[in-house]
A and B are shown apart, each in its own frame.
Chain A
């Protein structure tokens, strides 16, 4: 596609519910990233994929967070047993030449846990 597509745009979850956030990167972009932005803060790194391989998951806040990219294209970020502190904007980005052009971000999924 022309850009990075994320769905849903907004998600309200009851505390304890599982959620799945989808990211469809730009076709051909090998690298894919997930970031979490809490209110009033800058985005924070969650995880990094190169094709289907998850090379870095050091930013995932707990074992309730799980990300996958099984065919090296679409990625899903899953949060189990959501807590109020999970409320944030979740951004997906992909890149092909980040040295020269940086990252292409999606418009994010705003998750609110009530």
Chain B
């Protein structure tokens, strides 16, 4: 099991504000980094699969950056909306491409 850490564990954001949070992972033997969004009572949804150092991906108001040399990824939410309330999980495959090691998640609550 690989050490994947996410911080903070939870955060509360006012509607319209922007926020970001971190995923850190082992910097050696990098293969890929996954981000998932998990809304209550729904299925975890894949947001991004990132593979290249310096990669930046965007989906609507959500974007992510990747630094494989120092072993971290940031996820940004711009202009938070109530529908962004969810737990955001990052996951790291490690030496193989299928066995994901997940962080414990960052739970985002957007207040109207």
Contact = CB atoms under 8 A, between A and B. Distances in A.
**A and B: bona fide binding partners:** yes
Interface of A: 3-4, 31, 33, 35, 40-45, 48, 56, 59, 91, 98-108
B97 A99 contact: yes
Interface stretch (B40-48, B62-70, B72-80): B40-48
Interface residues of B, number: 25
Nearest to B98: A48
Q: Report whether over half of chain B's contact residues are helix, strand or loop; otherwise say mixed.
A: loop
Listed from nearest, the 3 A-B pairs whose CB atoms lie closest are A42-B102, A102-B46, A105-B44
A99 B32 contact: yes
A4 B101 CA distance: 21
Interface in B70-106: 89, 91, 97-105
Contact of A98 (B97, B102, B104): B97
24 contacts: A4-B43, A41-B104, A42-B4, A42-B91, A42-B101, A42-B102, A42-B104, A42-B105, A43-B89, A43-B100, A48-B98, A56-B99, A91-B44, A99-B32, A99-B49, A99-B97, A101-B49, A102-B46, A102-B49, A103-B100, A104-B43, A105-B36, A105-B44, A107-B41
Contacts of A56: 98-99
Interface of B: 1, 4, 32, 34, 36, 41-46, 48-49, 51, 89, 91, 97-105
B49 A100 contact: yes
Contacts of B32: 99
Contact of B46 (A3, A31, A41, A103): A103
